[in-house]
Structure 1
Amino acid sequence: MNQSTFRQITLAAALALAGAAHAGVCPADKVAANDLPGAPTAPVGVVDTELASIDLARENVKLEQRRLRLRHMTIAPGGIVPMHSHEDRPALIMVNSGEIYEYNSKCAVPILHKAGETAREFMGTKHWWKNTGSVQVDLTIGDIVNDKKPATMEKMM
């Protein structure tokens, strides 16, 4: 195989993987404010396990009261991750298995997240999640948490 063909194959593979890695997003015609009436406030069927963390006040970034945290979460069929905010807690969520719906304050319809996708949660995001399927959903979550804020997910679960 010549170098040009190799580059074309590599580029095609990278583009295919990049497309597959994006999480479900709100359809452009459904982006709208959503007050999420009746959103659940308590978890159901959720196991949230912290795997590791780094105190960011002790790192070069000097972010007082913040930790970079890695978690594993499972959501049973019918399970709910209750309403919460990401006003100061950015997160990346990898869906390892299953499918789960996100109900987001910026979207008029539920957003489906499938295995192999990564969801981004950042400033202004308020949402809750529900596993409407028949199999457990497994997530890996990396976030920057403010331990001095009483409403963190760690304290809710």
Structure 2
Amino acid sequence: MSDEEVVPESNGVSVVELASVDLGVELPGMDGKRLRMRMVTIAPGGVFGPVHDHVGRPGTVYVLEGTITDHREGISTDYGPGLGWPEDRKTLHWLENKGTVPAVEISVDIVGE
């Protein structure tokens, strides 16, 4: 993030956990970790922040509806339905919906318990 970039407060976001798997039961060395799938809805004008990283929490995102703008390293990228992006240890970003309809994504990541 650039020092000049001002990130609005998080607002207009709803998150529903759809499924979860205890990875400690499934894979050696994964105690205390789980694979989760969430549906995230960002209202028009909404912001999913604050600026956050994915260190220790890798994942992927797939956009179902609307358009989500991903802000990272001073670059804004729009993702519409059928598109997505990876979130790895190098990811430092925030998201927003600059559109007029809700934006809906499916997020799958590995998290600690």
Q: Which amino acid aligns with 1:58?
A: V
Q: Percent identity?
A: 34
Equivalent residue number for residue 50 of structure 1: 17
2:105 aligned with 1:143, yes or no? no
2:83 aligned with 1:126, yes or no? no
Q: Secondary structure at the match of 1:110?
A: strand
Deviation at 1:43, TM superposition (A): 2.2
Ranges in structure 1 where 5+ consecutive residues have no aligned partner: 1-33, 148-157
- How many pairs align? 111
4+ runs deviating over 6 angstroms: none
Greater percentage in strand? 2
TM-score by length of 2: 0.90
Q: Which amino acid aligns with 1:59?
A: E
TM-score by length of 1: 0.66
Greater percentage in helix? 1
Q: Which has the larger radius of gyration?
A: 1
Ranges in structure 2 where 5+ consecutive residues have no aligned partner: none
C-alpha distance in structure 1 between counterparts of 2:27 and 2:96, whole Å: 37
- Greater relative contact order (CA < 8 Å, ≥ 6 in sequence): 2
Q: Secondary structure at the match of 1:57?
A: helix
Deviation at 1:62, TM superposition (A): 3.0
